[in-house]
Amino acid sequence: MDVTTPASGDPWLIVGLGNPGPEYAMNRHNVGFMVADLLAERIGGKFKRAGKAQAQVLEGRIGPAGPASRRVILAKPMSYMNLSGGPVNALKDFYKVPVAHIVAVHDELDIDYGVLRLKLGGGDNGHNGLKSMTKAMGADYHRVRFGIGRPPGRMQVADFVLKDFSSAERKELDYFVDRAADAVESLVIEGLERAQSTYNS
């Protein structure tokens, strides 16, 4: 089976990457959590602690009612970014999700703010959350990359990603997060190629 084509039976594991705790909530590095929270709102459920997996999860369905809808598990690892792989791998095994049905939603430095790029597999580009996931289960999972741009001047990358979005960025943040959630839904329901053609702006 072509891994880019969703199979109706297998569940999807959608992972928003970020750091737990209110002090990180509006950081650029936490945009994956923001998208996951919006998807949870759309499903109409609340995240709950997932036993031994060190993550918050929500089970539900997305897409039109009937056979076209997809079973999804939304997850937010509570392990801190650089240890995301452990919780994600535990959820993958528990819910019996194929690696190709895992979607990581994360911030991306090498893309302009608000721009989306969807892809399957590839490197981690220095992103500690992806690095941890790839180490735990290989690289053949989907990514929804949310552009945050490069740090200004000589600001260190670590400082930049752990700062809140600027006031100017926040004016458009809700729109971009909404569009990223749309992209995740499109990927799961329609497949990678269709989602790329719509959202890889």
**Positions marked catalytic:** 29
Tokens coding 163:
């700062």
Name the pairing type of β-strands 70-77 and 12-16: parallel
Going by the DSSP 8-state scheme, the letter that residue 22 receives in this structure is G
**Three-state DSSP class for residue 32:** helix
Q: Tokens for 14?
A: 């959608």
Instruction: Using the CB atoms, write b or e for 40-58: b if 16+ within 10 Å.
Output: beeeeeebeebeebbbbbb
Q: What are the tokens at 4?
A: 């880019």
How far is the C-alpha of 8 from the C-alpha of 27, rounded, in Å?
35
How close are the terminal C-alpha atoms of the chain, in Å?
28
CB atoms within 10 A of CB 128: 19
